[in-house]
Chain A
Amino acid sequence: MTFSLMFWLANVLAHRRFDRLWALRRLLPFGVVLLSACQTMQPPAVDTVRFTPAQATQRNIAEPKVKYLVRADGYEYCARITGIPVTPTSKPMACAFWNTRRRECSIITPEETGYNYLGHELRHCFEGAFHD
């Protein structure tokens, strides 16, 4: 996809009848594509606000043993275990699963992630399902 866009852009720039108006018309869709890509990188609203952590006695697991797994198939795995599909406009960016009885929690992210996603999943490890 990225290669195709670069190839198309190179074609546009190398066009013989290159002029500003023509280039603007041609480049406009490319700009829109870039904008939507940035939009998908916006953190979820729940991650942009401050919250009051649950007290230890109110947590799902008061002191979890946390494992952090970075997976090449991170998006696909999180989609598979949550049932939330990967679409052009949204996808699960990270996920966590926990074993309450054994007080264990695993966080899964793809190979590139953000502090907000990791922090969000860490909260799951303590508080269980705190949203949805």
Chain B
Amino acid sequence: MTDCLHKANGGGMSRRTLLAQAVFSLCLVTPLGRVAAQSAGTVQVGFLNHYPPFSFKGADGTLKGFDLDVAQRLCAIMGVSLVLVPEGMAALSQKLRAGQIDWIGNQLLVTPENRREFDFVRPAYATNQLSGIQHEDDNRDFLSLDDLVGKKLGVLAQTGIEEQARGALGKSVQAYARIEDALKDLASKKLDMVLEESLIAEYYIERDDLPVRVTAPFAPPIPVGLAVRKGQRETQGKLADAVKTMLSDGSLKAISEKWFGFDVSRARVGHAMSS
């Protein structure tokens, strides 16, 4: 069970993983002629068109999101102007390889495959973890899929999470095209639990004022980072310094609280080890 969930989360199944895989696969395309993205004092940063709450178009058609606010803050720290480049995954990958954008503003999974294709900026600025979500009146403790036998579990459709959950629980798993619909059913007590990445769940809980809460993690924190083109040491270094500044000066905390209601840069699990 543990291995299954590890694979579901870190091995190519979550939406973030799919993003990373798609970007990786497109990197196999022959590189285009590289064009310098950075003109004096300006950086071009790519964002996914529809990846709420990290980057998405609002009702007025403008791009917004947590990652966008973070990029704006990073640019302010670096003293450069931000030019937004909203695209799909394929175009983002091509533009990064071609040097038409300076970095991808959505954090990607740090996998061995992606590390071979991109350089990653560390540290990451948000902790995200596959977690259970339960109704706020529900005090039952579900820490594994085994605990959910005979219970109704909601998941996002066509993901590794759905596949693994169905393997363990069968027909009691209900798949949803939109995770916000699963959370609404949970709020109406039509489900016992929803499994989703904690930050995505926290965003909808905050936005829709849902009577549900993020409960037990089901997998380790997802390792992510901003991706820059391979070999762009200067950009990588400047971004890393800016991220550290943003973490230490309290500005990330303010952005976090705007989108999620709390500081997402801090871990939400701890442990004691034997040695």
Residues on A facing B (Cβ under 8 Å): 40-45, 47, 60, 67, 69, 71, 73, 76-84, 89-102, 104, 106, 108, 116-117, 120-121, 124, 128-131
A81-B269 in contact given A76-B2, A100-B262 (Cβ < 8 Å): yes
Given A69-B143, A81-B219, A102:B213 Cβ within 8 A: yes
List 12 other contacts, CB 8 Å, given A42-B275, A101-B262, A121-B271.
Answer: A44-B275, A78-B271, A81-B219, A81-B269, A93-B274, A95-B269, A101-B202, A101-B260, A121-B272, A129-B267, A129-B270, A130-B270
Is B152 located at the chain interface by the 8 A CB criterion?
Answer: no
B138 partner residues in chain A, CB cutoff 8 A: none
Q: Are A90 and B274 in contact (CB under 8 A)?
A: yes
Q: Max chain B CB contacts within 10 Å: which of A40, A77, A93, A97? A: A97
Q: Write 5 A-B pairs (CB below 8 A) sorted by A numbering.
A: A44-B273, A82-B220, A89-B275, A91-B273, A116-B272
Query: What B residues does A42 contact at CB under 8 A?
Result: 274-275
Count of B interface residues, CB-CB < 8 Å: 31
Q: Tell whether A117 pairs with B272 under 8 Å between CB atoms, given A71-B143, A99-B213.
A: yes
On whether the beta carbons of B270 and A95 are closer than 8 Å, the reply is yes
Q: Which of B2, B141, B143, B271 contacts A92 (CB 8 A)?
A: B271
Q: Could you say which of A77, A98, A131 contacts B143, with CB atoms under 8 Å apart?
A: A77
CB closest chain-B residue, reference A83: B220
